[in-house]
């Protein structure tokens, strides 16, 4: 069963790195060393994760590593709703997640308000400037959290 799952996974080499990270408590420098073949660039950190920009097959991706206390399960809430203007998630492990890179760009406030309205109807509350970006010409949200009332 596991072998069948591995055949369907995109970016298998990054998935193997994620598996190594899941098995051990790794700090930022060790993660960068593990990602060395993917031209890693440290983007920053948030409350639950550290983000690295990686390149694979001429595509820019975001490799997110959660802290050992907080797994990446709070992102799974949004995964099913990604058709509703969410940045594509390729896969997630216990402490890691691989997602399309959203570029910060110029967008109108009307577009942002439409995006916020659509997400609020679905029960998500964390659509703010830091969580909005563009993939191509499409405005999308990423790292949005579900309302506590809905959980």
At 29, which CATH number? Answer: 3.30.200
Q: Is 143 domain-assigned? A: no
What is the SS3 assignment for 72?
Answer: coil
Q: Got the DSSP string for 85-120?
A: TB--EEEE-SSEEEEEPPBP----HHHHHHHHHHHH
Residue-level pLDDT, tens digit, the chain, 151 residues: 454 455 578 899 999 998 888 887 677 788 888 888 888 898 888 777 888 999 888 888 989 888 655 545 545 444 444 444 667 888 888 888 898 888 877 788 888 888 888 888 877 777 777 778 888 788 887 777 665 555 4
Q: Is 138 domain-assigned? A: no
Would you state the pLDDT for residue 15? 92
Domain count, the chain: 1
Would you state the pLDDT for residue 101? 86
pTM given for the model: 0.74
Q: CA angle, 7 as apex, 36 and 85 as ends, to 5°?
A: 75
Would you state the pLDDT for residue 72? 53
Q: Is 125 domain-assigned? A: no
Q: Is 50 domain-assigned? A: yes
């Amino acid at each position: 069963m596991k072998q069948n799952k591995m055949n369907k996974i995109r970016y298998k080499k990054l998935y193997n790195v994620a598996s190594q990270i899941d098995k051990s408590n790794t700090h930022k420098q060790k993660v960068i060393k593990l990602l060395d073949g993917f031209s890693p660039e440290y983007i920053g950190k948030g409350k639950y994760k550290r983000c690295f920009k990686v390149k694979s097959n001429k595509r820019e991706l975001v490799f997110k590593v959660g802290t050992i206390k907080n797994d990446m399960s709070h992102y799974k809430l949004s995964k099913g709703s990604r058709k509703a203007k969410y940045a594509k998630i390729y896969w997630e492990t216990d402490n890691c997640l691989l997602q399309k890179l959203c570029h910060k760009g110029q967008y109108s406030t009307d577009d942002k308000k439409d995006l916020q309205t659509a997400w609020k109807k679905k029960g998500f509350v964390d659509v703010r400037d830091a969580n909005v970006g563009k993939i191509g010409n499409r405005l999308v949200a990423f790292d949005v959290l579900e309302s506590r009332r809905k959980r």
